[in-house]
Amino acid sequence: MEGIEKREHPPVPILNEWDKKVLEQGLPNIVKAMYKDFGNSLPDAIIFPDTSARPLFYTLNPIFKEISRDKGIPLPRCYFFAARRPSVWLGEYEKLRAKTIADMSDEERSALDPVQLKETIDTNEEMEGYLRGIQGMEDVIHIRRTLSYDDAGEMRRARSTMKTRAEEILTEETKRTQVSPKIAIIDDVASPDSHTVSEIRRAFGMRELPAYVVATYTDPHEDRELDGSITAGYIADLSTDVDDRNQSKQNVKFSYAGTDALGVNKFEDEEGAFLRKHAILIETENPEELSAEKRQLRSEMSAIGEKIAARIIRVLDGSAGFPDGQPVVGT
């Protein structure tokens, strides 16, 4: 109505206190570890697994800019990588299979054909063969057949897509740097299984591709720890140190995970098919078309990054300790 002043509602904060605490403590830890791992420098390229790790770009950008300015080193180029994890059954079977092969002697391995030596499970027939070896799995096999469940086939196709994306990044970075590029993975949260990191390493064909996660967690009811080749900046205890909004199915997540504030989705159709190699690039986005939630999350993440950037050089040089004594783990 005419004469009535339209009032703008203040933005609703997205990050909760647990989010902010973990970001402010975990990120300086992994940045310092990465800086040391890369010879007092930064990687040529950083891989952020889509979707929930994408907002880390906005927090790390001011941090990397400050390091680049102070140390006179190039900024890393950032890529978003659509990674898919295997199903629970598939992931456990492949982990067991990989361990069995690794524990064999050279003589035992030489007696096997290539199909028996591969660590991935690519067909339903292979998957059913595994399940038949477990007592009481007849009903599971029947249900899988009834539903035409093909997790092995879907994962095989997804891995092909991920490999293509990895090859594109390697080609681009080799052309840009004129040498074999130094690449690192940065994820937001990793479970002890760390399947996302494992799949990205597989796609790049690099088992030891450096990987860093802001947070991981321990569960007092389970005897599992994060892969020692992955560096985590913060360790959460599921029983005492997690906000209700940050816990889901015995996992830990940042409160924005899975929300519209991310601005991207998992790129799957209604039947769960893995469709695309990557989401829309940040450089091609129109800021005017972003929703209020997306703008708010990016603003909050950037503010935390600026706060960390103000002391990151002292952290790297050792004149400032880690916040609250929080350790770097996995190194």
Instruction: Give 31's contacts (C-beta < 8 A, 6+ positions apart).
Output: 60, 63, 67, 308, 312, 315, 316
92 and 60 Cβ atoms separated by less than 8 Å: no
Q: What percent of the chain has pLDDT over 70?
A: 79
**CA dist 98 to 59, 131, 281, Å?**
36, 17, 35
What residue ranges do the domains of the chain occupy?
Answer: 19-82+168-253+302-323
| Tally of CB atoms within 10 A around 204 | 20
Q: What is the DSSP string of 191-248?
A: -TT-HHHHHHHHHHT-TT--EEEEEEEE-TT------TTEEEEEEEETTTS--GGGEE
Q: CA–CA separation, 308 vs 2, rounded Å?
A: 47
Q: Given this model, what pLDDT does residue 242 score?
A: 66
Q: What is the pLDDT of residues 257-296, one digit of tens each?
A: 877 676 554 444 444 444 444 444 444 455 555 678 888 8
CATH class of 19-82+168-253+302-323: alpha beta
Per-residue pLDDT averaged across 238-245, rounded? 67
Which range has the worst mean pLDDT, 58-62, 180-184, 232-236? 232-236
Q: CA–CA separation, 197 vs 242, rounded Å?
A: 23
Q: What is the pLDDT of residues 147-181, one digit of tens each?
A: 777 888 888 988 998 999 999 999 999 999 899 99
Confidence band of 245 (pLDDT split at 50, 70, 90): low
232 and 30 Cβ atoms separated by less than 8 Å: yes
Quick one: tokens of 308? Answer: 């960390």
Q: What is the pLDDT of residues 59-91, one digit of tens each?
A: 999 999 999 999 999 999 999 888 888 887 788
Look up the pTM and report it: 0.81
CA atoms within 13 A on the CB side of 83: 28
Quick one: tokens of 59? Answer: 């927090």
Confidence band of 248 (pLDDT split at 50, 70, 90): low
Per-residue pLDDT averaged across 227-249, rounded? 76
309 and 66 Cβ atoms separated by less than 8 Å: yes
Quick one: tokens of 184? Answer: 């690192």
